[in-house]
Chain A
């Protein structure tokens, strides 16, 4: 047998590996976790990945202050505790946090608007990393700008920490509508479309030809119930991120999964139901069954009641 030739150093190979991991997560649920016990519950319930963070968006929203990358010791504990991929968030533009996350062995980095942005102009140059990145987007132009910077996965931003799915729906519909609109344009019209979307022409042309993003398109931001997950999947999401929807009780109080067996059971029931709903998103009979099994739901905060300046989704451009 001849010597195997490693192709890792080539940039396009790197991108294929990054997108490859995103492909493996399709049809699954990625759950925000704040400690080892929550990570174990997520894995046990069938999550495809966990997002390690210090505070879920609902708590960040309620408590305020500067939200940063989770502390390395927490991330390492969670990596140790589960066999599924572990993600973590870096602040927008904070490439040093991303360097640390890559060094820790995190499998996916979320350059996230949920944390306090570190750069008001520049996002991270994601091509410079071996670890794949996921970024939020509200429209096609934003998604393509992130992909141009090297993102291997896009997620709708929605409005994190609310339990209100309305903005996730709005962003998914907008991205889908804008992609569909590109497919009927002539070659000449694509140049102006690239200008309108403020996105690279090559990527705009690629979307016009295929009708979809060149990387997987997931959904996040306000998904709190099995029905929410099914809704986003039916609208075209390829997988689901659930942040505050599983482990939160009141607006800023998490369920006590470590000491209270009843509250632990509630988190387990929510997590399992959302996982099943994401696989069987097109089967109303199963969706009805799993929705019935859920005990309690995150209280939530209507996104329409949030002042413009308090929205997380407007961070980044």
Chain B
């Protein structure tokens, strides 16, 4: 029982992007947020968020600083949640352009699939999360083209998944951290709590 009293420590990959918004969202969802910039900072973290930002910037950084392999191993063993660029990093395959990814989420993701910044949008749509329609902020968003059989689709846009879960891995092509609704972060915190037991 004693371990349930220590607060959850959830890392946010802080190479670049809106990691501060994720840290604030995690705090609101009841977890302690830790910024992660080096492989050794993954030690003792119960779960990890890969934030929105530029996936190429994050990927180059991971490759240059011998961080890619450590992150891949971490993601295979712990709960992780990727939003936008983070979802791209988690995918099995990335298109437009083709780029390397961690390959822990059984999905094919197309970058900048909805167009440029002028095509960014905010939608309100149903999801499988209880509590009514969910606001979704899409910014130069990717599109999940295909998911494998072990992936649950929690929300969709025009027939394509935008929020998915595969075991302890969650991914969103939108930015729940930029809305005030904390249901998505709470769902991830619950997944981290369950995985720690």
Contacts and interface: CB of A to CB of B under 8 A. Distances in A.
Given A23-B52, A84-B54, A2 B125 contact: yes
A43 interface: yes
A131 B118 contact: yes
A26 interface: yes
A20 B85 CA distance: 13
B139 A20 contact: yes
Contacts, number: 130
A25 B57 CA distance: 10
Interface stretch (A92-100, A186-194, A272-280, A304-312): A272-280
Q: Nearest 3 A-B pairs (CB), nearest first?
A: A107-B117, A27-B16, A46-B60
Contact of B54 (A49, A102, A108): A49
Given A20-B175, A83-B56, A84-B54, A8 B18 contact: no
Given A27-B53, A83-B56, A132-B117, A4 B124 contact: yes
A23 B53 CA distance: 8
Interface of A: 1-2, 4-8, 13, 16-17, 20-21, 23-28, 43-49, 79, 83-85, 102, 105, 107-108, 130-132, 272, 275-276, 278-280, 283
A49 B117 CA distance: 12
B139 A24 contact: yes
Given A24-B17, A27-B16, A83-B96, A4 B53 contact: no
Interface of B is mostly: loop
A17 B121 contact: yes
Given A21-B117, A48-B57, A272-B64, A27 B123 contact: no
A85 B53 contact: no
Contacts of B133: 2
A1 B121 contact: no
B57 A84 contact: yes
Most chain B Cβ neighbours within 10 Å, of A28, A130, A280:
A28
Most chain A Cβ neighbours within 10 Å, of B19, B84, B96, B118:
B118
A279 B64 CA distance: 13
Contacts of B175: 20
Contact of B97 (A23, A83, A276): A83
A132 B120 CA distance: 11
Contacts of A43: 56
B15 A27 contact: yes
Contact of A24 (B53, B96, B158): B53
20 contacts: A2-B126, A5-B123, A16-B137, A17-B137, A20-B120, A20-B137, A20-B139, A23-B21, A24-B17, A24-B18, A24-B52, A27-B14, A27-B15, A28-B57, A83-B96, A85-B117, A102-B118, A278-B16, A279-B61, A280-B37
Contacts of B85: 24
Contacts of B96: 83
A286 B43 CA distance: 20
Interface in B72-99: 84-85, 96-97
Contacts of A6: 121-123
A108 B117 contact: yes
A105 B124 contact: no
B112 interface: yes
A8 B37 contact: no
Contacts of B65: 276
Contacts of B53: 24-28, 48
Contacts of B197: none
